[in-house]
Structure 1
């Protein structure tokens, strides 16, 4: 095993209800929900007409007219987050040789909004089968290649090392942090800009989830529609956003006096090889990922002080991961606080794993467990301590964050307080 260790020294967040890390944490600890009726498009004909949108003004966030024209909304989120993370880290240009800086960005649906908007224009509202490319924006090709989002972040960071786009569905945000950590552990990079971004609140994405009835139809009460682990839950609420981190080799970070939020201590992923959208009720694959992540971190199950759950609010997911916690942690699963921040900021697909990593790092930083909003009547099959409604002060040294994605993906990440 490598004797190198990976720490988070910078963080940037764009999330529903708050742009920037401080606004995001304030929303979580207040237990406020950012779910509302969709405003980004006319959703009147859809089964689910609610989402967690970001109040995002790219110009106000420092993007130039050229950048706004060139980049899809998801890419804009990623760049704004990367700039915040780099500023937060205190790294200056020239501190790290550019070839020793890498980038790993996750996304589930890429530049969905830009592609859909351009298709509507090129096809004359869908009336023409053969489209005229003369009507396309100059950078349409970039929208079709999701890796351009990682390139945009690389340009911001001046990164000339390994650059990649991780697209593993709803675990992409966790997997991108894992991939970035691996670059440092293997010695291929000394600094990695890692995170994820998605802006999926568009007609095509909403229609896909409508078709399988995965999203909540509680349109009359959007603020209380996302209800993970609650007996009355009826699906997840679509969201959007991004989170990006500066990952560094621990000793180098200490030498330059960097502030360390947390160590990325262990991680693992598994596939259930079972069903595109279905989950086995025993949670075995997620439990195996958790067990392996703990082994790599050299931690016992009883060391976990907080679990940031996937907690999407679908019945099969909430029961599946409850079973996985019991299977991997044993009796300790009943003693450790668990919560789902998707109750407040929705499910931003590939981005959510990184946004949840940010919540975990801030939970360690502030010794506070964010709550599960809207949890009033627990599902009897979900019988753990899900921290309902109100944030809780709690001693936190080690955190487990998990993700589950269509295709059978299961990812677990163990983070802990830096051990100086």
Structure 2
């Protein structure tokens, strides 16, 4: 580390008033770097204590959180949020309780810090091991999803990483209330007070400043709309973990159980339409379409879903709106579903290859060979057989909470939990060996 960075770390532990935006961001980043070093050396028991205390505090202070959230929900219309976005923003006692339970689930997971990945003894007697270590400082940028404040903080602290959190203006009051509780418990547990920091301004320039500080920040994770993610990728001077879109498809094969297929597509589209693992496209094998689509359309209509079909789908269900070419490439994040009839499983796989975003795809079939073909040939972060796309989620797949779903191929793909926030280092122990 150069002298300037070390000096800023020393300054960060003291803090100054009256900072301009650049000074504020650099101070926060330096504080995070200093906290990360201490956090990496903390015990797993201490980090779990913070998770348990935070979970309890969230429940005990639920009224405080809901009051702050009410201010954000009231202002949502002024930001032009649609119904799905407001749903992502809203917190009630049930959702606060779910957030607290997610903290308890993370606490119950094995401590990844220091976990031995591989170990061996070389012929020359050297003891070689590869162990997991924290990445360092993680900058999380997200939009109107206040639960991400807690999920990201939990995963970062559990994995020994410091977090800088920058939520959207739509959730500012909620995020501040949640962060205040988490920060209070950090101090109470004797962990570094700057291990979790919330950027206190909604000024978009702050994001750009922080993305330009690779000497302090090791990884940026944007979680939100495509424009946000593309901006972060364009400006970041450090690696970025991301997905651009959640263009998820459900393919109903000729050998599908029609009742199962209907339940799956209704859940995949309508349970929470504004999230990245919600289905945006329904592909139906031509052989089964006349028997499947009328009932599925009724069930989707009862759930408030608007259907946009191709010519073949509309010939079966004339009430569908004609699909436009752009509908196959649109992440609606709303109760809108594009429907296409395909001639074969190969045509379905081809559609996904052309229009998908490598996020999540599902096949509904009783044909084992078809399922295996779909799993082998569809290149997405999660490929699901006979279940909803909504299961591509860290909590549902046993990771506890998740910090996001990555469609990258390196270094993490799919739901990103504790291990995806780790790096590794090699430890070599000898007794005097030298290389010849």
- TM-score category (smaller protein): under 0.3
Find the structure with the greater CA-based Rg: 2
TM-score (structure 1 length as normaliser): 0.26
Higher helix share: 2
Which gives a bigger RCO, structure 1 or 2 (Cα 8 Å, sep 6+)?
A: 1
TM-score (structure 2 length as normaliser): 0.25
